[in-house]
């Protein structure tokens, strides 16, 4: 759920989490219950530097810049398949 910034005239800024389809233009301030307007800008889905954000960044990077390897890592075993049809596949 995206995070949106809201500003209360008296209390200042605070965050609110709302679904994309139902994000309100104003919410009640959690401190004084006055109407607080949503600040301009899109909702932030994730905070930078989190584990989830690092995972998304590395996943996006492998899609555009896949790591190329010349050989399997040392000590890696060949995958073994028990499917008899795989024995008919060409070997390199």
Positions 16 through 75 that interact with Zn ion (CB under 5 A): 29, 31-32, 34
Beta-bridged to residue 36, according to DSSP, are: 27
- Beta bridge partners, 8, equal 12
Judged by CB under 5 A, which stretch of 5-13, 43-51, 60-68, 70-78 contacts Zn ion?
5-13
Rule CB under 5 A: which of 8-27 touch Zn ion? 8, 10-11
Task: Say whether residue 1 binds Zn ion (CB under 5 A).
Answer: no
Instruction: Spell out a b/e string for 16-31, using b for 16 or more CB atoms within 10 Å of the CB, else e.
Output: bebeeeebeeebebee
Nearer to Zn ion, 26 or 56 (CB): 26
């Amino acid at each position: 759920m995206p995070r949106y910034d809201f500003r209360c005239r008296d209390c200042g800024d605070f965050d609110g989490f709302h679904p994309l389809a139902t994000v309100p233009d104003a919410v009640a301030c959690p401190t004084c219950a006055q109407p607080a307007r949503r600040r301009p800008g899109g909702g932030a889905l994730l905070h930078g530097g989190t584990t989830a954000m690092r995972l998304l960044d590395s996943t996006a990077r492998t899609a555009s810049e896949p790591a190329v390897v010349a050989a399997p890592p040392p000590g890696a075993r060949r995958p073994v398949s028990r499917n008899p049809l795989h024995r008919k596949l060409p070997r390199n």
